Chains A and B, each alone.
Chain A
Amino acid sequence: MEQLTKSYRNGAPALDHVSFRYEGAGAIGYLGPNGAGKSTTLKLLVGLLLPTAGAARLNGVDPRENRQRALWDVGAVIENPEAYPSETVFDALNRVGILRGLDTREIDQEIDRCNEELGLPQLGMRCGWLSKGQRQRVALAAARMGDPRVLLLDEPTDGMDPTSRVQVRRLLQTLRKDHLILMSSHLMADVMEVCDRLIFIDSGRILLQDSTDAVAGRTESRLVEVEFATPVGPSAFEALKPWIQDYARVSDRRYRLGFDGRAETRSRILEESLRLGPVRSFTSAFPALEDAYLEVIGANPAG
């Protein structure tokens, strides 16, 4: 993408001179609050939107100039894709298979593979009868038909139950070894496990691009979770008041403590916690990435 800009009729830029270029294999997490420009970027990439300025290219081809070539090796799940309601799951995937250049035998094999990877609903079921999670799995399967090298995924686990989410995460972890995945998500656990690189966007502008490890290392977590070997009453935490900003009881043995994020404060909380009773574990309550997200997006006034 080169200096990609998209403005709507009200003049506000949904995307403001955004540039990035990725090739080879890997998974890139595209992060930002609602309305930041994530879906707009993906739509511009596949030609669902037309840029006001700049250009988007997939496999070196602008989808405005040649959709067939640009999207030939691309699978995309954007917003909430729906096949024809009266069409069966098999027919919906079969159609995609033919358009991606597969023969009948290969289509059957691909549908079997997608079924293994994603746990598809019954193939004879009409698409109009599917639940949101099932529709999303069919959409992911459609994106995987023919095994395209590039996957553009907008909230790919949206509407899925926890088991399916884990299944999709594992699939993406495997695929990132030999596919290029650009994935937007609000779910930090998904991003953390799947993506090796991250792009933070807000108000149509890219705020940060870096590896997941580097981004996670930018901040210390501001929440720790302490688990005691024996029950501890909430009143005991009065002694920690000088170092903690607040605390929440998770169970009679586990408490979540908010603090200023400094390493020395964290050490002091650990020392004081040990005075309250034997400590079984002392960990960051949230992944560091979540804090990094808040720091990057929060630092932006519009965030």
Chain B
Amino acid sequence: MAASRPTRRRVSVFTQWAVIASSQFRNYLRTYRFLGLVAFVGVVAGLWLFFLVEAGTGIVRLSFLNSVSEFLTDYTQSTPLWIILAAAFFGGDALSVDFNTGAGYYTLVLPVERSTLLAGRYASATAVSLIVVLEYTVFGVLGASFAFGRNAIPWGSLGTSLALAVLFTLAVVSVAFSFSALFKAPATGVLVTILVLFVALTTLQNVVQITGYEPWWSLNYAGGAISSALDWAFTPKQVIPVGGGKYLTAWSASPAEGAAIMAAYLVVFLALSIVLYQRKESRG
């Protein structure tokens, strides 16, 4: 039995990362939440496309979407919502699962630094979230092709928008990972991510805009850059008369500003996740 010991070689951090990321990615692909979300996005976007085709291209003009830019800008305004949902689903419990189930007793006793584990899981959570984003985007491009013709698609702007969507996904997954590292119950991380990004930030951002200030600190605000990138008539600041001689200022993040806010969230919350995860204990 003990006759020949296997020869063990030093494992590079990259190999460890790749092993963790690929196994976690495969695991995500088999979960009901992934299949459910992909199906849900497929049904919602698919129905939208179906009705668009059924109603014909005239319906697009009736919606005052006179150019492919307006059409895609309108469509991609929902992209941040899908990203938040996907990132919360896949990132909200990515770390807490180690401290709430037996998963941590299997994984955390292996000769791998926790920062490497986190990096692997971060990559896989981002990758599965991007599958959802891509799925949604493909339906949008199909709709735009139908309404305005394939040649009308602004591939350059679409590429910028997609790049911003990737950055936004990275930032939201970072936020979700922080909550996942903070809370022990997996469901809490998912729920708090959704509540903070969907409800708290959106509410605060709207209140701040009403008072005339730009909500440059909000990740949701930055998410608006995903659609701004496709808007040919983009203006960062619009003053809208609301009657009685009063005006409301509406702010929109430009692609550059949005990217900067997203990058800041990514760095700050990823660093926070690493610190919290390094110090998290298995007390169960």
Interface residues of A (CB under 8 A from B): 8, 43, 46-50, 67-72, 74, 76-84, 86-87, 91-92, 95-96, 98-103, 106, 109-110, 113, 117, 135, 139, 142-143, 146-147, 174-175, 177-178
Contact = CB atoms under 8 A, between A and B. Distances in A.
B30 A86 contact: yes
Contacts of A77: 105
B1 A99 contact: no
B106 A49 contact: no
Interface in B212-242: none
Contacts of A87: 23, 26-27
Interface stretch (B5-13, B50-58, B269-277): B5-13
A67 B13 CA distance: 12
A117 B1 CA distance: 9
A194 B138 CA distance: 62
A257 to B, nearest CB: 42
B46 interface: no
B105 A79 contact: yes
Given A68-B112, A71-B111, A99 B10 contact: no
Nearest to B23: A95
B111 A68 contact: yes
12 contacts: A43-B281, A48-B105, A70-B111, A78-B105, A84-B23, A84-B103, A91-B23, A98-B15, A100-B110, A103-B9, A139-B105, A142-B106
A102 B105 contact: no
B111 A76 contact: no
A101 B9 contact: yes
Closest 4 CB pairs of A and B: A82-B102, A101-B8, A86-B30, A81-B105
B102 A80 contact: yes
B113 interface: yes
Contacts of A78: 105, 109
Contacts of A46: 108-109
Interface string B84-125: 000000000000000001111110111111100000000000
Given A48-B282, A80-B102, A91-B23, A175 B11 contact: no
Contacts of A110: 6
B106 A139 contact: yes
Contact of A50 (B7, B31, B279): B279
A49 B109 contact: no
A48 B103 contact: no
A261 B86 CA distance: 67
Contacts of B188: none
Contacts of B24: 84
Contacts of A79: 102, 105, 282, 284
Given A101-B11, A178-B2, A72 B111 contact: yes
B246 interface: no
A178 B103 CA distance: 29
B16 interface: yes
B94 to A, nearest CB: 12
Given A92-B106, A98-B11, A100-B111, 4 more contacts: A48-B105, A81-B102, A147-B6, A174-B1
A209 to B, nearest CB: 25
A185 B30 CA distance: 36
A77 B106 CA distance: 8
Given A49-B281, A117-B1, A99 B105 contact: no
Given A48-B281, A106-B6, A67 B106 contact: no
B281 A99 contact: no
Nearest to A97: B6
Interface in B1-39: 1-2, 5-11, 15-16, 19, 23-24, 26-27, 30-31
